């Protein structure tokens, strides 16, 4: 059993830090200024803005960003606030409009943010400089079909911010995938507790016992990137060697074999051969159907891949699907966040864009809502993590090597917050 660690950055791991990081409202306010207003943030999926005039509103704490597609195909982003008296401009989360009219006094802006109409304009006897009263712009860019915004004045390019993390994922065509599910769960925990949870496999043996039946969490490959991003590759189509190797393929391995037309009975006492067999079979099937898998490595055909983009985005994906997991902090309460899960899949035919389903954590606990078995298991645990952190008996963390990605995230958090 061996973990491979590839470090592409100069950050020193942060192993031990105060619990106050998850509890302080002052720190949360500083995080908005020094992290969220100062990093590229994943705001949505570019496919949601495929037509001229399509718009969406991305909310992070007290800030709302309006992103829209212009007739020339370009994207624009603005603070979603009217420049007359500051009214929230657009109320819907998504829609289509050629111009944006404020509901208060009907100031009207074009899609490019310019101020086009002001009722009773002659009443502004002190003058009204329309050029100075356009919507306040925000930087917007896309990578692989995903929309990112940056509220800072002169950000680095999105490509340089993502760096080697993006280069490693070049084979994936997330832009060709469609949103098939859009969920938001209200969690009673700090947003970083969610990032931490998706930054380590240490808990998997204990919280997700089903995983030992189809992935090998002992021989993972960990990447630590500049700017606090991390990645992990977990061998799939296999079992966890920390437990006795079964004679027959597990139920989940049998299903994987059958999904590519292989007979599970042929793999009795041959568990270690399954991963390569599935990889070869996938290549053969793709060739028959005329699909080019040349850009994918063998590991990308079978393994579980997850990349965490600093600060608050987790991408969990395979060749034909992507989960965007994104905790958005509450505006003022460090003990709450909104946890989004946007599921994209590669489909042969167009599917209707689902509306966002928003629900409380209790609905998951009661089994009324599910974000998949694995994520439900995480969600059910996270409020107890927040409760425990508030204890006078808990002062600091003490992280293991299995939590190196958590350490890396916190090292970048410390670097950003040091600019205070
Ligand atoms: S606040 Fe928007 S028009 Fe007055
Ligand atoms: Fe988990």
Mean pLDDT for back-to-back runs of 10 residues, the chain (420 residues): 89 93 97 97 98 98 97 98 98 96 98 98 96 98 98 97 94 96 98 98 91 87 97 92 91 93 94 94 94 92 95 96 98 98 96 97 96 95 94 95 97 94
419 and 317, same structural domain? Answer: yes
Domain membership flag for residue 242: no
Q: Whose CA is nearest to atom 1 of ligand 1?
A: 85
326 and 201, same structural domain? Answer: yes
Q: What CATH number did the domain enclosing 175 receive?
A: 3.90.380.10
Bridge partner residues of 306 (DSSP): 232, 316
Q: Give me ligand 2 centre to Cα 275, in Å.
A: 23
| Mutate which of 78, 81, 104 for ligand 1 pocket (most atoms within 8 A of beta carbon) | 104
The interaxial angle of helices 251-259 and 274-289, nearest 10 deg, is: 20
Domain membership flag for residue 244: no
Q: Give me ligand 2 centre to Cα 374, in Å.
A: 6
Domain membership flag for residue 101: yes
Q: By residue range, what is the domain housing residue 267?
A: 251-300
Please tell me the distance from the alpha carbon of residue 31 to that of residue 11, in angstroms, as a whole number. Answer: 19
pLDDT at site 209: 87
- Which ligand 1 atom is at minimum distance from the Cα of 89? 2
369 and 223, same structural domain? Answer: yes
Residues with CB under 6 A from ligand 1: 82, 84-85, 87, 102, 104-105, 107
- Which ligand 1 atom is at minimum distance from the Cα of 105? 3
Q: How many domains does the chain have?
A: 3
| Mutate which of 102, 108, 128 for ligand 1 pocket (most atoms within 8 A of beta carbon) | 102
Q: Give me ligand 1 centre to Cα 359, in Å.
A: 32
Domain membership flag for residue 246: no
Q: Whose CA is nearest to atom 4 of ligand 1?
A: 105
Q: Which two tokens stand for residue 177?
A: 């995938």
Domain membership flag for residue 141: yes
Of 259, 282, 300, which closes a domain?
300
Domain membership flag for residue 245: no
| Mutate which of 82, 109, 128, 134 for ligand 1 pocket (most atoms within 8 A of beta carbon) | 82
Measured from the alpha carbon of residue 87, the closest ligand is 1
Domain membership flag for residue 351: yes
pLDDT at site 1: 64
Q: Of the candidates 13, 400, 405, 402, which has an alpha carbon nearest to the alpha carbon of residue 223?
A: 405
pTM of the model: 0.96
The 8-class DSSP code of residue 384 comes to H
Q: Which two tokens stand for residue 345?
A: 């899949």
183 and 282, same structural domain? Answer: no
Q: Give me ligand 1 centre to Cα 233, in Å.
A: 50
Please tell me the distance from the alpha carbon of residue 393 to that of residue 94, in angstroms, as a whole number. Answer: 45
Q: Give me ligand 1 centre to Cα 59, in Å.
A: 20
Span between the terminal Cα atoms of the chain, in Å? 42
Measured from the alpha carbon of residue 380, the closest ligand is 2
Strands annotated E in 115-268: 115-117, 137-143, 146-150, 178-187, 221-224, 230-234
Q: Give me ligand 1 centre to Cα 308, in Å.
A: 39
Domain membership flag for residue 380: yes
80 and 20, same structural domain? Answer: no
pLDDT at site 419: 85
- Is the alpha carbon torsion for 254, 255, 257, 258 positive or negative? positive
Q: What CATH number did the domain enclosing 117 receive?
A: 2.102.10.10
pLDDT tens digit sequence for 207-231: 998 888 888 888 999 999 999 999 9
Q: Give me ligand 1 centre to Cα 104, in Å.
A: 5
110 and 16, same structural domain? Answer: no
Between CA 281 and CA 287, with CA 286 as vertex, the angle to 5 degrees is 100
Q: Give me ligand 1 centre to Cα 368, in Å.
A: 41
pLDDT at site 211: 85
pLDDT tens digit sequence for 90-135: 999 999 999 999 999 999 999 999 999 999 999 999 999 999 999 9
Measured from the alpha carbon of residue 81, the closest ligand is 1
- Which ligand 1 atom is at minimum distance from the Cα of 85? 1
């Amino acid at each position: 059993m061996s973990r491979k660690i590839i470090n592409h950055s100069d950050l020193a791991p942060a192993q031990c830090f105060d619990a106050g990081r998850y509890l302080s409202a002052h720190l949360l306010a500083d995080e908005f200024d020094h992290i969220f207003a100062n990093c590229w943030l994943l705001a949505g999926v570019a496919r949601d803005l495929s037509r001229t005039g399509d718009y969406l509103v991305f909310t992070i704490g007290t800030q709302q960003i309006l992103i829209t597609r212009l007739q020339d195909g370009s994207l624009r982003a603005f603070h979603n606030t009217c420049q007359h008296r500051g009214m929230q401009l657009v109320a819907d989360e998504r829609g289509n409009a050629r111009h944006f009219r404020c509901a208060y006094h009907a100031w009207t802006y074009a899609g490019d943010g310019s101020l086009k109409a002001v009722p009773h304009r002659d009443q502004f006897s002190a003058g009204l400089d329309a050029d100075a009263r356009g919507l306040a712009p925000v930087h917007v860019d896309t990578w692989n079909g995903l929309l990112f915004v940056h509220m800072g004045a002169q950000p680095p390019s999105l490509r340089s911010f993502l760096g080697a993390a993006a280069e490693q994922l070049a084979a994936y065509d997330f832009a060709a995938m469609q949103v098939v599910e859009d969920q938001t769960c209200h969690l009673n925990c700090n947003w970083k507790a969610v990032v931490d949870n998706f930054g380590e496999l240490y808990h998997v043996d204990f919280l997700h016992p089903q995983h030992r039946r189809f992935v090998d969490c002992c021989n993972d490959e960990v990447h630590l990137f500049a700017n606090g991003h991390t990645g992990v590759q977990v061998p799939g189509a296999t079992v966890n060697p920390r437990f006795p190797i079964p004679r027959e393929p597990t139920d989940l391995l049998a299903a994987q074999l059958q999904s590519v037309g292989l007979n599970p009975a042929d793999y009795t006492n041959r568990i270690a051969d399954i991963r390569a067999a599935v990889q070869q079979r996938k290549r053969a099937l793709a060739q028959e159907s005329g699909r080019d898998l040349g850009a994918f490595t063998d590991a990308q055909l079978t393994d579980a891949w997850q990349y965490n983009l600093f600060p608050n985005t987790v991408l969990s994906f395979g060749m034909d699907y992507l989960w965007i997991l994104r905790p958005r902090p509450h505006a003022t309460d460090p003990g709450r966040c909104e946890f989004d899960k946007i599921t994209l899949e590669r489909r042969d035919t167009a599917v209707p864009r689902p509306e966002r389903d928003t629900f409380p954590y209790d609905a998951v606990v009661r089994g009324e809502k599910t974000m998949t078995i694995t994520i439900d298991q995480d969600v059910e645990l996270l409020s107890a993590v927040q409760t425990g952190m508030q204890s006078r008996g808990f002062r600091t963390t003490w992280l293991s090597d299995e939590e190196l990605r958590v350490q890396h995230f916190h090292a970048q958090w410390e670097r950003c917050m040091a600019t205070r």
